[in-house]
C-alpha cells in the first residue's frame, strides 16, 4: 500500500506534503495537544466511537476546544478513504492548541486527520514474545492522550541497544504502562492490569472484555515485586494488538516463552477482529 | 511595534503567515523538540552565545541534530532584523524532531527562527511584586529547554483565578523553578537559588554574577520549610527580568512588599542592560 496522499487540516482536504501547521501554533511551540490513533479491520475503523469519546476527554483535560464534532470527524475519515482510493489505513487525529480563547479559559485548536500506512511489527513479536526495559517515569495527565512523548522517544536508542520493543514506566514501586501500550500480567488464571495513573487503552478494554469469560480479572496496581511471581505478561495497544512479554530488564517472565493464556487471548482477539 | 512579518524556516525566509511545519513532523506529533528565547537590549541579542550553547546542549540531550551552526543562526537573526526593518525584537529559535536519522541514533530536525513583538508585563510586577502558586511537578529532562509546557499551560487558568503570575514547581519537599523562570530567596544578605533539577537560566546566571559582589551566594536546594524564613523572594527570566515575589500560595514573603535587596538587584540589572 502506498502512503495515503490526502489528509484533512482545519476544514480543508490537502495533500500530505502540503499539510502544514503554522509555526505560531502552541501545539508545536509548547507541545500542547492531544491525539488519537485508530486501526481499521475489514475496512471499518475499530472502536471509533470509543476513540472519539476519549479524544473529547483528552481535549477537555487540557482545556482544548475541539473545532469539529465527532460525527464530522467520522464523515471526514470516510471521505479520506474514498479520496485516497484505499480500503484500509491507520488513522491519526491530532488536536493542537492554536491560541488562548478570548475568555482565557480555553484554547482554540488546529485539527488534522491523517491516514497512515500501517506500521507492521515482525510476526515473531506475537508468537515468540518481546522484551521490555523499565524506566522510572509517570506520564503527566496520565488519563489524557497528550502529544508529550519526550520520554518515549528519548528511550528509543536504549531500547534498540537492549533489543527491547517497549519501555515499561514504573513509579513508586509500581508497574504502570508502556510508552504506547498497556501492561498485563497473569498469575496462573488471574489476569491483572493497572487501572490508576495510566491511559485507559481502547485495546486494553477490548482485551479485558474478551478475557472476562475465561479468567479472573483484577484491575489494580501491580507492585514491582509481583513481576517475579508472574506466570505470564503481555502488552496491548492499537498498533501492537497483543504481544507476549518474555523478559523485563534482566527478569525472565514465566518460562521465558510466550504463555499459554496469552496465546489463547491472541487467538480470541484474531477471531474477534478478522 | 508591528508584529515582525518575516521569519526563517528550514533554510528559507518566509512570511510568518506562511511559515509552516509539515504535519508529519515529530515535533508536533510527539511534542519532541527544544527551543531558545532571547531578548534584545539596545539592538543586540542579550547573551546570544550562551543561549546558542544551551540550545546545542538541549538538542544533544534529546539526540536532535541541529541543521545549522550557531554562527549561521546568528547571521540569520541579523538578516531577519534587517528584512523586518526593526531594531529590536524577542527571538524564538525552535528545533523540532523531523524524523529518525538512518542510524536510528539521532533525529533530523526542522528549525525555525522567529522574531516576536516583546510581551510586556505591567510595571507593577517589578515594583510591587507578584504572587506565585505552587504545583507538585518536576520537568522532564530538566536541564534541557524542551517544548513540553503541558503543566505550565494547563495551570494558566488556576493562576488567573488566584491572581498569580507564575507557578512554582515543587518536588520532594523542595522548591525548584517556575514554569518559565528561576526562583531565588534571600535570607537577610544570603541569596539562595536551586542548582539541581532545574533549567539553568541565562538570566539566572547573569543575576548571580551581578549579586556576587554584594551578597553571599548559595546555589543549593531550597526546602519548602525555608520559605517561611525567607526575608525576600524573586524570580528571574529572559522575558520577565527580575520580579519580586510577595506571596506564595497563602504564605506572605517577608513583610509582603518588594524587598530592598531585590530592588537593589533590579537597579543593578537595569544599569547593566540599558
Mean per-residue pLDDT for B192-216?
98
CB contact under 8 A, B141 and A157: no
Give pLDDT, residue A245: 98
| Pairwise pLDDT comparison (B119 vs B34), residue with the higher score | B34
CB contact under 8 A, B30 and A156: no
Instruction: Label the pairing between strands B241-248 and B251-252.
Output: antiparallel
Give pLDDT, residue B119: 87
Q: What angle do CA A264, A268, A273 make, to 5 degrees?
A: 150
The three-class DSSP label of residue A273 is helix
Judge residue B254's burial from the number of C-beta atoms within 10 Å of its C-beta, 0-12 exposed, 13-18 middle, 19 or more buried.
buried
Domain A124-273 has CATH 3.20.20.210: no
**Closest by alpha carbon to B61, among B100, B33, B37, B91?**
B33
Mean per-residue pLDDT for B21-30?
95
CB contact under 8 A, A7 and B21: no
Domain A6-116 has CATH 3.30.465.10: no
Asked whether A249 and A133 are in contact (CB, 8 A), the reply is yes
CB contact under 8 A, A23 and B21: yes
Beta-carbon pairs below 8 A across chains A and B:
129
CA A97 – CA B181 distance, rounded (Å): 22
Q: Per-residue confidence at B101, pLDDT binned at 50, 70, 90? A: confident
Q: Per-residue confidence at A125, pLDDT binned at 50, 70, 90? A: very high
A171-to-A134, A177, B114 alpha-carbon distances in Å = 10, 10, 39
Give pLDDT, residue A119: 87
Q: What grid cell was written down for B198?
A: 532545574
Asked whether A224 and A174 are in contact (CB, 8 A), the reply is yes
A266-to-A241, A262, B76 alpha-carbon distances in Å = 8, 6, 55
Give pLDDT, residue B71: 97
E-only strand ranges, B101-181: 107-116, 130-136, 166-171, 174-178
Please give the residue of chain A at the shortest CA–CA distance from B8. Answer: A23
Does the pLDDT of residue B1 top 80, yes or no?
A: no
Mean per-residue pLDDT for A250-259?
97
Give pLDDT, residue A127: 97
Give pLDDT, residue B2: 77
Does the pLDDT of residue B13 top 90, yes or no?
A: yes
CB contact under 8 A, B150 and A154: no
Judge residue B44's burial from the number of C-beta atoms within 10 Å of its C-beta, 0-12 exposed, 13-18 middle, 19 or more buried.
exposed
Residue in A31, A101, A119, A155 to test binding to B, most B beta-carbons within 10 Å: A31
pLDDT tens, residue by residue, A12-55? 999 999 999 999 999 999 999 999 999 999 999 999 999 999 99
Give pLDDT, residue B99: 85
Give pLDDT, residue A233: 98
Does the pLDDT of residue A58 top 90, yes or no?
A: yes
Domains A6-116 and A124-273 equal at CATH topology level: no
CA atoms within 13 A of residue B120's CA, in its CB half-sphere: 6
CA atoms within 13 A of residue A149's CA, in its CB half-sphere: 23
Asked whether B214 and B262 are in contact (CB, 8 A), the reply is no
Give pLDDT, residue A218: 98
Give pLDDT, residue A146: 98
Identify the DSSP state of B146: B
CA A250 – CA A230 distance, rounded (Å): 14
Does the pLDDT of residue A129 top 90, yes or no?
A: yes
Of residues B94, B97, B105, nearest to A23 (C-beta): B94
pLDDT tens, residue by residue, B127-185? 999 999 999 999 999 999 999 999 999 999 899 999 999 999 999 999 999 999 999 99
Mean per-residue pLDDT for A45-67?
96
Give pLDDT, residue A105: 79
Give pLDDT, residue A67: 92
A273 and chain B in contact, CB less than 8 A: no
B102 and chain A in contact, CB less than 8 A: no
Give pLDDT, residue B170: 98
Question: What's the mean per-residue pLDDT of chain A?
Answer: 96
The answer for B 23-42 residues in CB contact with A (under 8 A) is: 23-33, 35
Please report, for chain B, the start and end positions of each structural domain, with discontinuous segments joined by +.
6-116, 124-273
Percent of chain A with pLDDT over 90: 93
**Closest by alpha carbon to B144, among B185, B108, B97?**
B97
CA A192 – CA B207 distance, rounded (Å): 53
Give pLDDT, residue A2: 77
Mean per-residue pLDDT for A94-103?
86
Residues contacting A122, CB < 8 A, separation 6+: none
CB contacts, 8 Å: B5 with chain A: none
Of residues A24, A30, A104, nearest to B149 (C-beta): A30
Give pLDDT, residue B274: 87
Mean per-residue pLDDT for A104-115?
92
pLDDT tens, residue by residue, A189-216? 999 999 999 999 999 999 999 999 999 9
Q: Per-residue confidence at A182, pLDDT binned at 50, 70, 90? A: very high
Does the pLDDT of residue A103 top 80, yes or no?
A: no
Give pLDDT, residue A106: 87
Please give the residue of chain A at the shortest CA–CA distance from B99. Answer: A153
Its ipTM equals: 0.94
A111-to-A12, A71, A98, B189, B222 alpha-carbon distances in Å = 10, 14, 10, 52, 42
Amino acid at each position: 500500500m502506498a502512503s495515503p496522499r490526502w489528509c484533512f487540516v482545519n476544514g480543508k482536504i490537502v495533500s500530505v506534503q502540503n499539510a502544514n501547521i503554522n509555526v505560531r501554533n502552541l501545539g508545536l511551540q509548547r507541545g500542547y495537544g492531544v491525539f488519537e490513533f485508530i486501526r481499521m479491520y475489514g475496512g471499518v475503523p475499530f472502536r471509533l466511537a470509543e476513540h472519539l469519546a476519549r479524544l473529547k476527554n483528552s481535549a477537555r483535560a487540557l482545556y482544548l476546544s475541539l473545532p469539529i464534532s465527532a460525527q464530522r470527524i467520522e464523515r471526514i475519515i470516510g471521505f479520506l478513504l474514498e479520496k485516497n482510493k484505499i480500503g484500509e489505513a491507520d488513522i491519526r487525529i491530532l488536536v493542537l492548541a492554536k491560541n488562548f480563547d478570548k475568555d482565557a479559559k480555553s484554547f482554540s485548536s488546529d485539527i488534522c486527520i491523517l491516514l497512515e500506512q500501517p506500521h507492521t511489527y515482525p510476526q515473531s513479536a506475537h508468537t515468540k514474545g518481546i522484551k521490555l526495559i523499565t524506566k522510572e517515569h509517570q506520564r503527566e495527565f496520565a488519563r489524557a492522550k497528550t502529544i508529550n512523548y519526550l520520554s518515549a522517544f528519548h528511550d528509543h536508542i536504549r531500547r534498540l541497544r537492549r533489543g527491547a520493543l517497549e519501555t515499561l514506566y514504573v513509579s513508586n514501586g509500581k508497574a504502570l504502562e508502556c510508552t504506547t501500550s498497556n501492561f498485563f500480567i497473569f498469575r496462573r488464571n488471574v489476569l491483572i492490569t493497572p487501572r490508576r495513573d495510566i491511559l485507559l487503552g481502547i485495546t486494553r478494554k477490548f482485551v479485558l472484555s474478551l478475557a472476562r469469560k475465561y479468567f479472573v480479572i483484577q484491575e489494580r496496581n501491580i507492585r514491582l515485586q509481583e513481576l517475579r511471581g508472574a506466570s505470564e505478561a503481555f502488552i496491548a495497544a492499537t498498533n501492537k494488538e497483543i504481544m507476549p512479554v518474555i523478559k523485563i530488564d534482566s527478569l525472565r517472565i514465566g518460562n521465558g516463552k510466550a504463555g499459554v493464556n496469552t496465546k489463547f487471548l491472541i487467538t480470541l482477539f484474531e477471531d474477534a477482529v478478522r
